[in-house]
Amino acid sequence: MANKQYEIIKRLPTVQEHKALWEAVGWGSIHIEMSGQSIAGSLYGVVVEHEGEVVGMGRIVGDGAMYFYIQDVAIAPEHQKNGLGKLIVKQLLDYIKERRHENGLAFVGLFASHGNDAFYEQFGFKDHSPVMTGMFTVFE
């Protein structure tokens, strides 16, 4: 990771940290109250700090036993390409491996930003089409 000092901290981002990173990576604007409610419903999260500022985040939502969803993995653009995304995803996957139900499978899902498929494939994520497809809808 370059010559910069980074610290990964096991905690959820604050609403303001979440908003700043969300917007910095180009995901649009986000409603603060909605963001706060969403973060509060998370199972687990991590942030990455550099010189006291949060420059990365990731979190997990789901039922905590069988279904886990990796959400909001984001690194501030000026700190990308330093291995921080790998650190975050590794921490999130370690949490899932430790917390999943001991007698069953853990289904772990995520949506990757365009062009980031290869990044997640290194952790074992695959496109399972045409047998299975990912789908979603958005209510506005």
pLDDT for residue 90: 97
Q: Is residue 121 part of a domain?
A: no
pLDDT for residue 36: 95
Q: Is residue 69 part of a domain?
A: yes
> What 3-state DSSP class applies to 40?
helix
Q: Is residue 32 part of a domain?
A: yes
The structural domain count of the chain equals 1
Rounded to whole angstroms, what are the CA distances from 83 to 17, 19, 42, 86, 92?
20, 22, 24, 5, 15
Task: Supply the DSSP symbol for 57.
Answer: E
Q: Is residue 96 part of a domain?
A: yes
Q: Which of 55, 45, 59 is nearest to 5 (CA)?
A: 55
Q: Is residue 135 part of a domain?
A: no
Q: Is residue 47 part of a domain?
A: yes
Q: Which domain holds residue 39?
A: 7-111
pLDDT for residue 1: 46
Confidence of residue 4 (pLDDT cuts 50, 70, 90): confident
DSSP string, 95-140: HHHHHS-TTS--EEE--PPTT-HHHHHTTT----TTTS--------
Q: Is residue 1 part of a domain?
A: no
> What 3-state DSSP class applies to 3?
coil
Cβ burial, residue 49 (10 Å; 0-12/13-18/19+): middle
Confidence of residue 2 (pLDDT cuts 50, 70, 90): very low
pLDDT for residue 126: 84
Q: What percent of the chain has pLDDT over 90?
A: 66
Q: 114-129 pLDDT, tens per residue?
A: 777 778 888 888 877 7
φ and ψ at 107, to 5 degrees? -90, 120
At 54, which CATH number? 3.40.630.30
pLDDT for residue 86: 96
Q: Is residue 27 part of a domain?
A: yes
Q: 60-116 pLDDT, tens per residue?
A: 999 998 999 999 999 999 999 999 999 999 999 999 999 888 788 899 998 877 777
Task: Give the separation between CA 26 and CA 39, rounded to whole angstroms.
Answer: 19
Task: Give the separation between CA 60 and CA 62, rounded to whole angstroms.
Answer: 7
Q: Report the 10 Å Cβ neighbour count for 61.
A: 19
